[in-house]
Amino acid sequence: MIKPILVVIVSLAIFIYGCHSKRENNAAQTPPSVIPVVDVLIARPQSIVSQIEANGTVVANEYVELKPEVSGRLTYLNVPEGKYVTKGTVIATMNDADLQAQLAKSKVLLQLAEITEARNKKLLAINGINQSDYDASLNQVQSIRADMAYTRALIDKTVIKAPFDGVMGLRQVSLGAYLTPANTIATLQQLNQVKIDFTLPEEYARYIRKGNTVMVQSDAAVKPIQKATIIAAEPQINTATRNIKIRAVLEEGGVNPGAFVKVLVATNQDKKAILVPTNALIPDDKNKQAVLVKHGKAFFVNVETGLRQADAIEITKGIQPGDSVVVTGVLFARPQNAVQVRSIKQLTDFSN
């Protein structure tokens, strides 16, 4: 009876010892917590160009919608779509048959009136008529000449000519159509030089000077960044938006009128600031945070930002010169936990 009990006790002891040994082995095989590996950037003040970004629109140097000045039927049409035409080229003519007939009638009346005026002048010289009769005949001559000048002016209005050298747009009417001054025949644009119209808040008006250069960026242009020279600004600020409208001339072409562009206006050439890559910041609902490495641990700090560039952003508060700012592995860092610094990066490493 005692021997079976001893066997059970010994077996139970062996089982408990085996479980304890297995637990110790598993504990020995579990690795310690993994320390995040990060790259840092040493914060240093550096020169930056402070810029204001504005939206602009490309405008043709000269632009006109060709419309008739009088109503009538279109008898001649010359619209070379998309081609260059010179100043004075006849684009279209309207039916002027009635005006030509009226002019011919006036010429006949003028001949008779001139004969009458000449005869009365001779009679006046020998006192054959009084002065009032001669004045009436002279007035008739002058009145008919005025009517002829008016008719010729109307005939001139039936001819539509190119007011300047430029590129024709698309034809909007057909030959034989009846047109009124509300109808557009085509457009004419001068593209050898284009302008940029953009607006800025009134607080930046002090940076706008005639002759200053701004940078223009357009995705559609052959050269993505071009220079433009400010030629004028609207004297009055828009009372609804409190913006000022500025016009600049693009030094090089390659951008079509109506295109959207970004205009960069420099405000400060000598500003010193701390820049960090944009992906080094952790945004939340209220603040932006950056991760600093101090004594081998990660510390989260609230920061304030200023000028934003393509790959970097200015830090105005929260980071001091000499601080080690985590630029890669930001999401793996935990407040006041250890981190392992792999390398020290430069800001140029994050430029495209």
pLDDT digits (tens, 9 = 90+) for 243-259: 999 999 987 777 889 88
CA distances 301 to 272, 293, 318, Å, are 21, 11, 7
CA distances 66 to 61, 69, 80, 170, Å, are 16, 10, 13, 11
- Averaged pLDDT, 215-230: 78
Crossing angle of helices 97-125/131-157, nearest 10°?
A: 160
- Site of tokens 């310690």: 32
Among the listed residues 213, 229, 225, the one whose alpha carbon sits nearest the alpha carbon of residue 262? 225
Position 19, amino acid: C
**Does residue 8 surpass a pLDDT of 80?**
no
Calpha distance 117→138 (Å, rounded): 6
pLDDT digits (tens, 9 = 90+) for 58-89: 999 999 999 999 999 999 999 999 999 999 99
- Residue pair 282/333 in contact (Cβ under 8 Å)? The answer is no
E-only strand ranges, 131-185: 159-161, 166-168, 178-179
Report the pLDDT value the prediction gives residue 57, as an integer from 0 to 100.
93
For residue 152, what is the enclosing H or E element? helix 131-157
- Beta-carbon-side half-sphere exposure of residue 56 (alpha carbons within 13 Å): 33
**Does residue 15 surpass a pLDDT of 60?**
no
For residue 291, what is the enclosing H or E element? strand 288-294
**Length of the chain counted residue by residue:** 352
- Averaged pLDDT, 40-51: 82
Report the pLDDT value the prediction gives residue 119, as an integer from 0 to 100.
93
Report the pLDDT value the prediction gives residue 25, as an integer from 0 to 100.
47
User: Which tokens hold the place of 166?
Assistant: 């430029």
The neighbour count for residue 351, using CB atoms within 10 Å, is 11
Task: Among 18-27, 181-190, 203-212, 240-249, name the one with the lowest average pLDDT.
Answer: 18-27
Report the pLDDT value the prediction gives residue 138, as an integer from 0 to 100.
94
- Residue pair 229/249 in contact (Cβ under 8 Å)? The answer is yes
Residue 13 confidence class, pLDDT cut points 50, 70, 90? low
Calpha distance 76→94 (Å, rounded): 7
Task: Among 65-69, 204-208, 310-314, 325-329, name the one with the lowest average pLDDT.
Answer: 310-314
* 94-101 long-range contacts, CB within 8 A, separation 24+: 94/68, 94/70, 94/158, 94/159, 94/160, 94/179, 95/158, 96/72, 96/154, 96/155, 96/158, 99/151, 99/154, 99/155, 99/158, 100/155
Report the pLDDT value the prediction gives residue 148, as an integer from 0 to 100.
96
Calpha distance 82→87 (Å, rounded): 16
123-159 residues labelled b (16+ CB within 10 A) or e (exposed): ebeeeebeeeebeebbebbeebeebbeebeeebebbe
**Sign of the CA dihedral 103, 108, 111, 114?**
negative
Q: Name the residue with higher pLDDT: 203 or 25.
A: 203
Q: Name the residue with higher pLDDT: 351 or 159.
A: 159
pLDDT digits (tens, 9 = 90+) for 111-170: 999 999 999 999 988 888 899 999 999 999 999 999 999 999 999 999 999 999 999 999
Q: What is the DSSP letter of 338?
A: B
Report the pLDDT value the prediction gives residue 254, as an integer from 0 to 100.
75
**Does residue 180 surpass a pLDDT of 90?**
yes
